[in-house]
Every structure is written in C-alpha cells, then in structure tokens.
A and B are shown apart, each in its own frame.
Chain A
Amino acid sequence: MNTLKLVLRNITRRKGRFIFTLLGIAIGMAAFVALLALGGGMRAEISRQAHAMGSNLIVTPTDWCTFDQISIFTGEPLPASLSIEVLDQIRDIDGISATPYLTQASAINMNPVAVIGIEPDTIADFSGWTLSAGEFFSSDTQHALVLGSDIASQFDLSVGQEVPIRGESFPIIGILNPVGNLDDLGVYMPIPVAQQAFEIEDNISYIGIQVDQIENIEAYRAAILERVNVAVSSDEQLLDSVLAILGSVEVTLQAIAGISLIAASFGIINTMMTAIYERRREIGILRSIGSKKSDIFKIFVLESGLYGLLGGIVGSIIGALASLFAAPFILAGFDQMMKGATPEASIEPTTIVVAIGLSVLISVAAGLYPAWKAASLTPVEAMSYE
C-alpha cells in the first residue's frame, strides 16, 4: 500500500461517484475547449489569408472604409476609384515593386466569382504564380482569361474553353498552380481588358506593394504618402482591422468560454467539497491509525488532482471532437464572408494544456479546503461526524 495506490483504490471503487464527478469536470472543460477552438479557427484562417497575400503594403483610395479593406481578403468586388497614374508615381520610388488590381464581380454558371484585372508583366513575379496548364497573357493574347486553380476545378474548366463575362465570350488560355490563398479563386484578365469589359475608365481598385527592405517599411510608406494622396496600409494593419471586427465575435466566444469555465469551476468545487465532507469519517479513521495531517492532505490533493487531470483530458477530447463536428455548421456564415476559407476549428496545443492545467488547478484548490478542514479536526471529531 502506498499513497497513490490508496488514492486509486478510492477513486476506482466508487464507480458511480467517479463517473459523475469526472463528467462534471469534463463537461465544463469541454465547453471551454470547444469555444476556444472555434474562435481560434476563425483567427487562424484570416491570418493565413493575410500572410499569403504577398504584399507588404496596400495602396488604396483615401475614402475606403474598413469593410472595403476587408474585401481585399474576401474577394468581394471593390470600388475602382484609384487612378492608374498613381501606379507610375509610386514606381518611381526606389526599392519598391508594385502591381495593380481591379477587382470586379461576375458569374460562372450563376455562381458569383471575382474577376480581377491584373498587370501581366508584373503579377506573376509579384505573386509567385506559375502555370499548371496553357500559357500566360502575351501581347497577342490579351482578350483572354487565366484561372486560379480552385475556380478551374470547381467549375471543371480547362484551357481552350470559353467563358462568358458581361456578355462577351473569353477563351481560357491558362490555369495557375495552387498558390494557397485567395488568388486560387480568381478569374484573371489584363487590366485594360477588364476596364473595357466593366466600363471603367483608367481606374483600378488598389495597388499591392512589396518593399526590398521590410525593416524600413515606415519610410516607404512615408515616401508614398509624400507623392500621392492615397491611403497606405500594411498587411498587418489590414489584418488588424479585419481581426478587430472578428475580434468582437471572438470576444463573445471567449466570454462564453469564460462563463462556462466559471460554471465548470463551481461544479468542480461543489463536487470535490461534497465528496470530501462525506468522507470526514474516513479521514477520522485514517487519522486514528496514525496518518498525519500532511498525509491526509497528500491523499486528497492527489485524488482531486487526478480527478482534475482525468476530467481535463476527457473534457479536452470531448471539446475537440465537438468543435470539429460543429465547426462546419457554426462557421457556415463565416464561410460565406470569407470566400475560399475553410471553416475549421483550430485546436491549439496551448488550449489543451491550459484546459487540463486549469482543470487540475481548480480541482486541487477545491479539494484542498475541505481536506484541510477535515484534517484539522481531531480524529474523534472527524469520526463522530455523520
């Protein structure tokens, strides 16, 4: 017999209490893990999109609001109010490469798609595009389309087919290799062709900029602002503004997780305290056969800790499974907003560690008080307690 064995006997031979105590702890922790996983999933997806964008700075008209900026990530049509002349002025700055975008909307088979006007000479290097089939735009082939990989597979389109856009028929000349971001969902044509098709005169939506020295990004931004009247945001800033909006969603989720954690805590505290108050007599017996206060302490802290550990593990598993199964339903709206985003729960290892740690901590704390109270009684007092 040793202390751990004594504790394990105590736990495993009270099956009913064991299961209900464990469930009490586990359900609380499951809710906590599931909600954090759902919130984390949204954040992770947006960060991925933003970091995959390839631009260090985004040049937009000064009158764009946050929702317009977010649309850069989501593939919604954007206002075309930035003069193409701005592009040349920016390109005069040393250490900058820039490429323009004109994002419009059309439909393929009645499904909305983003039609994006690009500059064939610069976009491929800028965005790291390579072709999986066909060829890219050349001076001879301007009135044509190059498709992102996902769009091509989604609508089962291949090189040589024709796609109607705004009543005109465009041949598909190339299909891109997957890039891993929103680019995979675009239908591309040269900017002048897009301007013509969508009847936009000499304007573009925004300009993506890469800088040679990322550490001097503020200097580049200042240089741009000195020359032209535009808004310049870093991708981090854009990400922040998206996250700020999503943050309110996430804060809500976290608040619910926090409340469920508090509820779980009280459940754990209640369970442990009841369990130990019921066992005062047992504590009295242990004391009468010579256990010290510290022995009682050790026994109940171990027992509470084991409950917390098992409850935390079971809860984390339940929570993780629940969030994985629930994510597609709960995040369905999110999918609508973020075209091409895959709604997945993101279960961070830290979430699991925190959940289990909290579970152990709360359980031990909850077990400690009644164990200390019981151990502080004389053996006679403890044993005569009914």
Chain B
Amino acid sequence: MNKHTQHPHHDVSAAAGDTASSAIIETSDLTKTYVRGTAKKKVENHALRGVTMSIPRGSFSCIVGPSGHGKSTLMHLIGGLDRASSGTVTIDGINYAELSDNELSELRANKIGFVFQFFNLLQNLTAVENIETAMLFAGKGTHSPAAALSAKEQRVRALELLELVGLGEKADAKPGELSGGQQQRVAIARALANDPEILLMDEPTGNLDSASEAEVLDQLMAIHKAGKTIVIVTHNAEVSDKAQYLFEIRDGKLAQAPA
C-alpha cells in the first residue's frame, strides 16, 4: 500500500506510529472514465486508468505531469468533487464510495479546503463575505471550529484569516477589485475557513505573475509549517521544487512515485 511513499525525517505524523496511519489520503486502483456523446455513439475518455497512491499526513505534496493526462481529475476525485468510475479514495480511512452525497458535502466542508486555478470566488460577495460563506456550510455538530459561530464570530474569524494572508485591508473589496494574487490569497483564506486538515490546490499559481506567485507560495509554506497537509497540482517548477513528495501522472497513470 505504501510502496510509493517514503517518510522524510521531518514528516510530522511519522511519530504517530505505523506507516498506514501516517497516510491521510490513499487511493487504490482509481479510475475515471468520462462518457460523452449519445447512447448510440458513445465516446469514452479514460482520464484515469488505475492510480494507487498514498499521501502522508502533514506533507507538502505535488502532482505533476503534462496537461490533459489526468492530474486535475485525480485532484477532483481526492477532493470528493467528483465520483470515481472504479477504485477507492479514502481520507483517514473513510471510503468516499460509502458516503452519501450529503456526507461527502460535509467532508468537503470540514476536512478539505480547495483552491482553484481560477480562484472561484463568488463575484457578488466581498472578500470577507466569501470566507464567511464557507463557514456557513460547516455542518452543525461537526468538529469544525466554524460550525457554531454567530455572524459576529464568523466575521472576526474571517478577518483573522484575511490578516493571515496579508489582506486585512481588503476585507470589503469584491473579487473584481483585487489582483489575481490577492484573489488567490482570499481563496486560500476561504479554504482555511473551517480549519480543514487538507488543502487541495489545482494550479494555484497558474494565473499569477511571478511576484504574486511568490506571495502565494510563501503563504502555502507558512500554512504547511502550521501542520496542514497540502496537495498541489501544478506545472510550475518553482512550486514542485518545494514538494516533499512528487507524484507524476502520465496517461492517467502514476508514472513516478515519490522517491
């Protein structure tokens, strides 16, 4: 199971015990096939053809590979944004296939924070409101620190998160009024809203100039140091160079495991 992973000496969870518990995300023979076209003339696109991998807890991992070879698909499946065609994804031993749609939503709300290439902020909401919106979905009765917050407490926490990403002064700006780098930092703050264990990012620097890229990268390193597991899909060598674990996806398969 863990043949692809190694444990660098600074792996925060290595002390926790055996190798199995040190993996937070595991996939087993994961496939995703998109079927398009009509019932008569089906076109099958095998985006993933059986990926088995294991991402250590508290790690900074990157998924790399050429465009269109299944990196993003893999991230969507790991994040529970899409359902696998076959194979399994587990987070902390929880098998997605056994979760209902609502349970999967709760998992996304509380355990995972997403950052996308195109920021995906809600354009009608200000920076601080975007972060608060994520707290809205932190299910009641879950362990999320945002679950039982009043509107005031939400605001306080959202402002703290904006401070954390260095945008305290832009709280009332709408996404359209922010630069790409700033928008991405708001997205990172939003991803942290419910204090998830895992941050999943799809080309977080893909739309940024090099100065913004450096800003964002600094943020990510800081977050990683705070103990979060970070998984980044990227083309960017600047980013992948910082990775403790590198997974290369080619033709929907794991071409290179971390070494």
What residues of chain A have their CB less than 8 Å away from a CB belonging to chain B? 1-3, 5-6, 9-10, 13-14, 281-282, 284-295, 378-381, 383
Contact = CB atoms under 8 A, between A and B. Distances in A.
A290 B137 contact: yes
Nearest to B191: A289
Nearest to B110: A290
B101 A13 contact: no
B64 interface: no
B248 interface: no
A21 to B, nearest CB: 15
Contact of A1 (B82, B106, B154): B154
B38 interface: no
Contacts, number: 85
A134 B114 CA distance: 93
Contact of A290 (B120, B125, B132, B134): B134
B81 A288 contact: yes
B135 interface: yes
Contacts of B189: none
Given A286-B137, A288-B114, A290-B108, 9 more contacts: A6-B133, A287-B105, A287-B108, A289-B114, A290-B109, A290-B110, A292-B137, A380-B76, A383-B81
9 contacts: A1-B132, A1-B151, A1-B154, A288-B114, A290-B110, A290-B134, A292-B102, A292-B137, A295-B105
Given A288-B108, A290-B194, A378 B124 contact: no
B129 A1 contact: yes
Interface in B101-147: 101-102, 105-106, 108-110, 114, 116, 120-122, 124-125, 129, 132-139
A290 B124 contact: no
A288 B106 contact: no
B102 A290 contact: no
Given A2-B151, A379-B82, A292 B105 contact: yes
Contact of A380 (B82, B110, B125, B129): B82
Nearest to A376: B101
Interface residues of B, number: 32
A288 B115 CA distance: 10
Interface string B74-108: 00100101110000000000000000011001101
Nearest to A3: B136
Contacts of B139: 290
Nearest to A14: B124
B30 to A, nearest CB: 15
Contacts of A1: 129, 132-133, 135-136, 151, 154
A288 B124 contact: no
Contacts of B81: 287-288, 378-380, 383
B35 to A, nearest CB: 13
A3 B135 CA distance: 11
A294 B108 contact: no
B228 interface: no
Contacts of A282: 122
A5 B122 CA distance: 14
B124 A2 contact: no
A6 B136 contact: yes
Is the contact region of chain A dominated by helix, strand, or loop, or is it mixed? helix
B57 interface: no
B250 interface: no
B71 interface: no
A337 B124 CA distance: 58
Interface in B22-65: none
Contacts of A285: 120-122
B190 interface: yes
Which has the most chain B C-beta neighbours within 10 Å: A281, A287, A380?
A: A380
A378 B76 CA distance: 10
A281 B101 CA distance: 19
B161 to A, nearest CB: 13
Contact of A293 (B83, B101, B110, B125): B101
A266 to B, nearest CB: 27
A288 B114 CA distance: 7
Which has the most chain A C-beta neighbours within 10 Å: B137, B151, B190?
A: B137
A293 B104 CA distance: 11
Contacts of B124: 9-10, 13-14
B194 to A, nearest CB: 7
B137 A289 contact: yes
Nearest to A379: B81
A287 B116 CA distance: 13
B83 A378 contact: yes
Nearest to B113: A289
A9 B106 contact: no
A378 B82 contact: yes
Nearest to A381: B82
B120 A293 contact: no
Contacts of A3: 136
A320 to B, nearest CB: 33
Contacts of A378: 81-83
Nearest to B103: A292
A131 B201 CA distance: 92
A371 to B, nearest CB: 15
Contacts of A292: 101-102, 105-106, 137
B232 to A, nearest CB: 16
Contacts of B116: 288, 383
Nearest to A290: B109
Given A9-B124, A292-B102, A380-B81, A286 B108 contact: no
Contacts of B137: 286, 289-292, 295
A133 B190 CA distance: 84
B108 A289 contact: yes
B138 A290 contact: yes
A290 B129 CA distance: 16
